[in-house]
Amino acid sequence: MSELPDRYSERLLLTADHEVWLIHWEEGHDTGFHDHDRSGGHVMVVSGAVREDRLVVGGPPSTRVVHAGESFSFEPADIHRVTHVEGEPAVTIHVYSPPLHSMGAYEVTDEGRLRRTPLSAETSLSA
């Protein structure tokens, strides 16, 4: 069984107020549940499709598939994951404001508690 290659990503712009990234997604790519610490953001799907799952207190995650030409936004407090949808590769553009400083990755412990692990903004997310 071969290992899944990392998602390709490239920062396109960095200013004092915004950061813009291009991300290429293929089958099996999954960020895992994460937050963006103090940054809100907007994601535009350029080609293909991705799925966003957002944690909801007291219920299952809300889920939506976002296709080419569509977009979604998130607030700094949102905990979500983004995964590739089967089929052709996907390309997304991500805009963060303020620029990413740090993130948090989430896992559910054996006791059913949600644990946050702080990450640097340079960390590539994967489930």
Residue 1 pLDDT: 38
Smallest Cα–Cα separation from 28: which of 7, 43, 45?
7
Please report the domains of the chain, with CATH numbers, ordered by start residue.
8-102 (2.60.120.10)
Question: How far is the C-alpha of 36 from the C-alpha of 120, rounded, in Å?
Answer: 10
CA distance 83 to 121: 19
CA 51 – CA 67 distance, rounded (Å) = 9
pLDDT at site 4: 53
The pLDDT of residue 2: 44
Q: What is the pLDDT of residues 57-105, one digit of tens each?
A: 888 889 999 999 999 999 998 999 999 998 999 999 999 999 998 999 9
Q: Within 10 A of 17 (CB to CB), how many other CB atoms are there?
A: 9
According to DSSP, the residues that pair with 109 across neighbouring strands are none
